[in-house]
Structure 1
């Protein structure tokens, strides 16, 4: 992706909402407007030098679009649908679609459960119980899942919108759950050496 005639801008540090890279960029575009009869700069578009994609900063509202990606990638997720849904939840958060982000996290519990052997077509409570009964939820972690379930249910069945703080909390819980189920076991498999054969007497 090439940006023709990008200009030098005041250097700005930010976390790219596309690739998640933390960077300082001084390359992009500015938007001129009028305020109180004065010509002013009302926005900047900075170009990430990692993924080459643009991020818009509104001078007056102080907002970044897309917003910074929350959390980090989780390694060793074997099911493509689970990984895609987690990334979708983070993408929704980055564009301020907080209710959608929470609903994605709720659906993610169902996807994880089915990916780990639960039968499809069950009720939501059955999926949560499956994860708990089969030790996919860490000790004292049931309250994380209950938070995801509760806020997800409210987002799914009530008119109210979920807040940025609620979506961020649920995403953090979801990431921790995915790390417990997938990343930790994957790391252990990478580092385990073959067992030394036992000597026969």
Structure 2
């Protein structure tokens, strides 16, 4: 991608809301307006060095899209699960916290079905399936069940979910994905090396 007429602006450290790269950029644009004889700055657009996507900062330093929360999880064999997890993180980055929580709830169903559960079951059955088939770490059923419960609230209640709730659920979901996919994948890679 080639951004036309970018200039050097004050360097800014941030985490890209598109690719998640931590960076310091000084390539971008300044948004100004000429009012009553003076120029007023309204914000800045910085261009990421890694993915070349634009990130806007207003005069209060609010970042749009916000930084991606969480990390990439390796060895997820099902692209629908990986895409849904990325969607949950993207929802968080734009302030759609309720949507982020709902995506995490849906992930429980997708993971369960991907691992052999019957499609069309209730969410409690999906959690039980994961637990009964040892996809949940010891003492982990409580936090997996909290993904289901908060997701149910997001889906069936009017009240919006908070950034803190969404971040907690995303962290739980990431840990579940690591336990089910990444750790066994790393073990398989290690066994292949020996």
Structure 2-normalised TM-score?
Answer: 0.96
Q: Gaps spanning 5+ residues in structure 1: where?
A: 196-201
Residues 93-149 of structure 1 deviation map (CA, whole Å, 9 limit, x = unaligned) = 010000000000000000000000001111111111100100100001111112111
Residue 149 of structure 2 corresponds to residue 150 of structure 1? yes
**How far off its partner does 1:52 sit?**
0.6
CA distance in 1, matches of 2:124, 2:37: 59
CA distance in 1, matches of 2:98, 2:70: 17
CA distance in 2, matches of 1:194, 1:56: 44
Residue 169 of structure 2 corresponds to residue 176 of structure 1? no
- Please name the residue that 2:42 is paired with: 42
- Please name the residue that 1:165 is paired with: 164
CA distance in 2, matches of 1:158, 1:12: 39
4+ runs deviating over 4 angstroms: 34-38
How many residue pairs get aligned? The number is: 194
Q: Gaps spanning 5+ residues in structure 2: where?
A: none
Moved more, 139-148 or 33-42: 33-42
**How far off its partner does 1:33 sit?**
3.4
Structure 1-normalised TM-score?
Answer: 0.92
- What is the DSSP-based 3-state SS (H/G/I as helix, E as strand, rest coil) of the residue aligned with 1:10? strand
- What is the DSSP-based 3-state SS (H/G/I as helix, E as strand, rest coil) of the residue aligned with 2:180? helix
- What is the DSSP-based 3-state SS (H/G/I as helix, E as strand, rest coil) of the residue aligned with 1:25? strand
CA distance in 1, matches of 2:156, 2:193: 50
- What is the DSSP-based 3-state SS (H/G/I as helix, E as strand, rest coil) of the residue aligned with 1:192? helix
Residue 22 of structure 2 corresponds to residue 10 of structure 1? no
- Please name the residue that 1:106 is paired with: 105
Residue 34 to residue 147, structure 1, CA distance change in 2 (3 Å): farther
Residues 43-100 of structure 1 deviation map (CA, whole Å, 9 limit, x = unaligned) = 000000111110000113x310010001110000011111110000001001000000
- Please name the residue that 1:198 is paired with: none
**How far off its partner does 1:39 sit?**
2.7
Please list, as runs of the form range in 1=range in 2, the aligned pairs for 1:136-147 lying within 5 A after superposition.
Answer: 136-147=135-146
Moved more, 185-194 or 31-40: 31-40
- What is the DSSP-based 3-state SS (H/G/I as helix, E as strand, rest coil) of the residue aligned with 1:73? coil
Residue 128 of structure 2 corresponds to residue 120 of structure 1? no
Larger Rg: 1
